[in-house]
Structure 1
Amino acid sequence: MPVPARRFRGTLALALAAALTAVLTACGGAAGSAGGATLKWASSYFPTHWDPVVSGSGAQFRELALVYASLTRTDEQGRAVPDLAQGWEYNAAGDQVTFHVRPGLKFSDGEPVDGAAVKAAIDRAKNQKNSALFGDLTSIEAVTANGLDVVVRLTQVDHQIPQLLGERVLQIASPKAAADPAKLDQNPVGAGPFVVTQLIPGTKVVLKKNPDYWDAKNIHIDSVELTSAPDASTVVSGLRTGVYNFADIAPSQADAAKKAGLDVFVLPGFNASNISLNINKAPFTNDKVVDAVRYAVNRQEFVDKLTFGYGSATDQPFPEGYVAYDPQSKNRYPYDPEKSRQLLAEAGYRPGDIKLDLVIDKADPAAEIVQSQLAAVGITVDIKVNKNWATPFFAKDLTFSLYGTTGRDSALQTLTAHFGPNGPLNLSTPYEPAGFEDAVAKVRQTPLDSPDYPSVLQAATRVGLQSKALVFTYSSPNLFAKSTAISALPRNPAHLDWTGVTIGGR
């Protein structure tokens, strides 16, 4: 799939000139307060880790995108477009893709951005002991570099790679800085439009514009102050008084933000919450019990009580209208508590016979809704909060839990994460629905620009949704509030793209 070497709007990234930190901090305050355009962002997802390999592809990737540029990024249609790579092409067999890095680029520590740097980033994501990304790169067999070119050899035909190697999975750090991953984790060094001047772990980071960023002419923000958001109830007052001019907000705060004269906008995305079942453990070893749970779920109740009208009911991990959404699977298991009770009776269970622990990481009103809806069909649920929930969840030791995903730029990656035999979000590993591997292989073999791609992808979604391990419930929005002085942001699905954005007309 040849991609012409032309300029596209880029995503913000950050860089750190480590040797200049002390000097820049001394005059960095002036950079943020000398009348320039300053983004003052209060984030509920302030990064715990600034090494993208450790941080992974979760919600914090938007903040790390202030730090690191990637080979590709996502446009408003959700397609992969050039970022550090100005183009790419596949070989005839479809099992090798060559990316061409833009000439003359450098990381903020002066190291060159070239094929060798890209190779180092991929190898580190695959092999670093504490990498959260290795499971996303299983199709990559080997990487070779030749000047500005990097050749990615694959274990199979896979046309998803340009979608995959964007800012969620391959934010590229300076190889020199990454030689000490522990240091990089709190001192990010990238090749993007901003350079860190001050970083207080877990609290605040201050950045200034990087004039060497490849698309610096379209970056109109002079400095960024990223702050860990306080309690959600105080964010709107901070926006109203000018302490911040941009923040993610909870749906419950949207009305107050509008009344305060702020712009409230929904960033399109792939958020989807689900009830996770382990069919390797009783009572979910019985298919009738699984189906009973499916029919007991009233998705609209989640929307009405948790999203204040901003969310939507969903029975798939994709929003309706997205290329991977399968219309044929819509409402396959409608809310029908009477049918749920009937299935439980057919499975030999009387009301109250089934008692389940719903294990979650923190108090969550969604858990109470699940508890209430299952109680209505005769299943008793005891909510257990375990701060170390992630360990048994990803070890697949739990029987019953909740999960929410922000999706992936590669729709196929979203499918395999949920439904694949080794999918991290598949609580029933190694179970997978019949025919899923074949459907996935067909998607990989189909070029993204093929007219057959949508139907092939939707067919894979249809097969995946036969899984007994997940019951999708609702989609909560990516909701943000900003000062009216900040111009509109591009509506790139799930991505905050600051290219072309102005503050106060500057």
Structure 2
Amino acid sequence: MSRRTTARRLFAAAIGITVAATLAACGSGGAATGGGTGTLKWASSYFPAHWDPVVSGSGAQFRELALSYASLTRTDDQGRAVPDLAQSWDYNDTGDEVTFHLRPGLKFSDGTPVDGAAVKAAIERAKNQKNSALFGDLTSIKAVTANGLDVVVSLTQVDHQIPQLLGERVLQIASPKAAADPAKLDQNPVGAGPFIATQVIPGTKAVFKKNPDYWDAKNIHIESVELTSAPDASTVVSGLQTGVYNFADLTPSQAGAAKQAGLDLFVQPGFNASNISLNVNKAPFDNDKVVDAVRYAVNRQEFVDKLTFGYGSATDQPFPEGYVAYDPQSKNRYPYDPEKSKQLLSEAGYHPGDLKLDLVIPSADPAAEIVQSQLAAVGITVNIKVNKNWATPFFAKDLVFSLYGTTGRDSALQTLTAHFGPNGPLNLSTPYEPAGFEEAAAKVRQTPIDSPDYASVLQAATRVGLTSKALVFTYSSPNLFAKNKSISDLPKNPAHLDWTGVTIGGR
């Protein structure tokens, strides 16, 4: 009997996530009502530099780009792939081909039809455009065939992660007509999402109106959006109080002031994780004892206490505890033990003060000072160097020692391969990978997401990945947003901002 995986079954797939998500309504008064205008006035610290989703990539700006763009799938409050532009999908018997069935009658904001040809063009552009930031996420895709409203994605291997992968983080779909001029699209988004851009001032402001042709327009109650690049952080809360904004992303240091101002604080569940990146291809980290010395020197709780203002948590994995990919067996594998760290350094032939390392980071970061202090306590001298062009040597794998923070991926396996795979962008030690990782990752791809074995297979891949000598995870901080009381509660979809059903000013 043919074994087909449909969207209906994926809805019921048990990809559980148990993460804290609270919506506190604190204080009273002081918040502007917004006058019932239905306008979202959003101050963002992540104002997009690029509006072409292929160029922007899957970083934090995907939330802002999702105002204009829709995807084949989106993510529900359990982290599962559910229908968006595609109303259903199914795999072939062997699991190396998936067909997405698009909703009929949809169009992009420039009038171009949303059909199989448009999706094929979007995938091929993400794979092939010279300045694409997404090509590394799509290596499993061999070919795409369009047939009316059907899109057939042929794979290089069995991969049941594709519906998770081709969601909002990786495949926001632009109009192929607009994408014919990528430079123009990069500053003027044209998608089939819930809103249409009417004005974009690069780096400063973007204005949107509701898209009446969005497939779920009946559940979008916001009439317009004014997205503004956040000014100095100290002025965001006052702007929310006076009604200049009614929604803003915050740093943990601003959360207390937002509460005192009577604003609602939205603590969004997510997959954020910070780490210390080591290059095992270069001295001194080509010595396993030095790597382990760093592992045992790290006091994760200090990062939480000093940097997250009570909103973060210590972590030694790229997933929150309780998420399907989190491996309980790997918890606290390298506990804080400075004496053991000193012993390992001695066994490696280093006396206190012998090791002097440059920690290269893109901008001033208090996390770097904590690393500097903790390693100094075990006899390693760290010199912090800020390099504004840090991305070039980091992604070229030329650095020896650095810091990195990630917002994760909708596909748990994609998160793992990005960190631990031999070509992973977050693996500073490329082409190094932990022994057995590729085999464990392949087994995840071969396991349907609705299989009863999926959780154990995925956790086994996490377990293998965490043997990597290239990353030491430190702490996790949630995504924090403040809103005034005119805006209703947002869906608690992990890492995503979903405006479905949200009202402003009692509308």
Task: Answer whether contact 1:5 1:87 (CA < 8 A) is retained.
Answer: no
Q: Please give the secondary structure, in 2, of the residue aligned with 1:234.
A: helix
Aligned equivalent of 2:164: 163
How far the C-alpha of 1:5 sits from its partner, in A, is 11
SS of the aligned residue for 1:183 comes to helix
Aligned residues of 1:5 and 1:86 also touching (Cα < 8 A): no
Q: Describe the superposition over 1:165-223 as per-residue Cα deviations: whole angstroms up to 9, x where unpaired.
A: 00110000000000000000001100112111111010000111011111000000000
Partner of 1:142: 143
- How far apart, in 2, do the equivalents of 1:193 and 1:316 lie? 34
In the alignment, which residue of structure 2 is the partner of 1:426?
427
Give the deviation of 1:422 after TM superposition. Answer: 0.4
- 1:358 CA displacement: 0.1
| SS of equivalent to 2:70 | coil
Shift of 1:394: 0.1
Does the 8 Å CA contact 1:7/1:86 hold for their aligned counterparts? no
Q: Which residue of 1 aligns with 2:26?
A: none
1:97-112 → structure 2 map (5 Å cutoff): 97-112=98-113
Specify the alignment match of 1:27 in structure 2.
Answer: none
Q: Which residue of 2 is the match for residue 493 of structure 1?
A: 494
- Indicate if the aligned counterparts of 1:72 and 1:82 stay in contact, CA closer than 8 A: yes
Q: Decide whether the 8 Å contact of 2:295 with 2:472 is kept in 1.
A: yes
Contact kept, 8 Å, 1:86 with 1:102, in 2: the verdict is yes
Letter in 2 for 1:248: D
Q: Distance in 1 between matches of 2:197 and 2:81?
A: 27
Q: How many residues align?
A: 482
Corresponding position: 1:380 with 2:381: yes
Deviation at 1:36, TM superposition (A): 2.8
Q: Contact 2:10 / 2:81 at 8 angstroms: preserved in 1?
A: no
Q: C-alpha deviations, 1:207-252, integer Å up to 9, x for none? A: 1101111100000000000000011111101001110000001111
Distance across 2 between alignment mates of 1:167 and 1:431: 30
Letter in 2 for 1:277: L
Work out whether 1:60 is the aligned partner of 2:64: no
- 1:325 aligns with 326
Provide the C-alpha distance between the structure 1 equivalents of 2:334 and 2:11, rounded to a whole number of angstroms.
Answer: 46
1:3, CA displacement in angstroms? 1.7
| Alignment-derived partner of residue 288 in structure 1 | 289
Greater relative CO, 1 or 2 (CA 8 Å, sep 6+):
2
Structure 2 residue aligned with 1:154: 155
1:130 shift after superposition: 0.2
What's the offset of the Cα at 1:7? 11
Letter of the 1:3 counterpart: A
Deviations 1:21-66 (A, max 9, x none): xxxxxxxxxxxx9963000000000000000000000010000011
Deviation digits for residues 247-283 of structure 1, max 9, x if unmatched?
A: 0011111111001000012100000000000000000
Deviation (angstroms), 1:150: 0.3
Deviation at 1:504, TM superposition (A): 1.3
Pairwise CA RMSD: 1.3
5 Å-filtered alignment, 1:7-18, equals: none
The 2-side partners of 1:66 and 1:6 are apart by 25
Work out the CA distance in 2 between the residues paired with 1:194 and 1:143: 28
Structure-2 residue corresponding to 1:441: 442
**What amino acid does structure 1 have at the position aligned with 2:48?**
P
- Provide closer, same or farther for how the CA distance between residues 94 and 6 of structure 1 changes in structure 2, counting only shifts above 3 A: closer
Which residue identity is paired with 2:439? D
Per-residue CA deviation, residues 120-170 of structure 1 (Å, 9 max, x unaligned), is 000000000000000000000000000000000000000000000001100
Secondary structure in 1 matching 2:480 = strand
| In structure 2, C-alpha distance between the alignment counterparts of 1:125 and 1:6, rounded to whole Å | 25
1:41–1:225 Cα contact (<8 Å) kept? yes
The secondary structure found in structure 2 opposite 1:169 is coil
- Read off the aligned partner of 1:358 and give its amino acid letter: L
Pair 1:97–1:58, CA change in 2 (3 A): same
* 1:65-464 alignment runs, 5 A limit: 65-464=66-465
In structure 1, what is the equivalent of residue 23 of structure 2? Answer: none
Q: Give the 3-state SS of the residue equivalent to 1:481 in structure 2.
A: strand
Question: Which residue number corresponds to residue 2 of structure 1?
Answer: 6
Distance 2:413 2:135 in 1: 16
User: Which residue identity lines up with residue 416 of structure 1 in the other structure?
Assistant: T
Instruction: For 2:173 and 2:261, locate their aligned partners in 1 and report how far apart those are by CA, in whole Å.
Output: 39
1:417/1:425 contact within 8 Å kept: yes
Distance 2:109 2:292 in 1: 55
Contact 1:360–1:383 (CA<8 Å) still a contact in 2? yes
Letter in 1 for 2:6: P
> Take 1:264 and 1:99, find their aligned partners in 2: how far apart are those partners?
37
Q: Deviations over 1:7-26 (max 9, x none)?
A: 99xxxxxxxxxxxxxxxxxx
Query: What SS class does the counterpart of residue 221 from structure 1 fall into?
Result: coil
Match of 2:18 in 1: none
Question: 2:10 & 2:485 partners in 1: Cα distance?
Answer: 32
Q: Deviations over 1:466-501 (max 9, x none)?
A: 000000000011011000110100000000000000
Partner of 2:471 in structure 1?
470
Q: Secondary structure at the match of 1:408?
A: coil
What are structure 2's unaligned runs of at least 5 residues?
A: 13-33
Letter in 2 for 1:492: N
| Counterparts of 1:5 and 1:114, CA distance in 2 | 24
C-alpha displacement of 1:4:
3.9
In 1, the alpha carbon distance for the partners of 2:456 and 2:235 equals: 46
Change in Cα spacing, 1:6 to 1:285, as seen in structure 2 (3 Å) is closer
| SS of residue paired to 1:40 | strand
How far is 1:114 from its partner?
0.3
Amino acid of the structure 2 residue aligned with 1:39: L
In structure 1, C-alpha distance between the alignment counterparts of 2:433 and 2:11, rounded to whole Å: 41
Q: Structure 2-normalised TM-score?
A: 0.94
Distance between the aligned counterparts of 2:332 and 2:390, measured in 1? 30
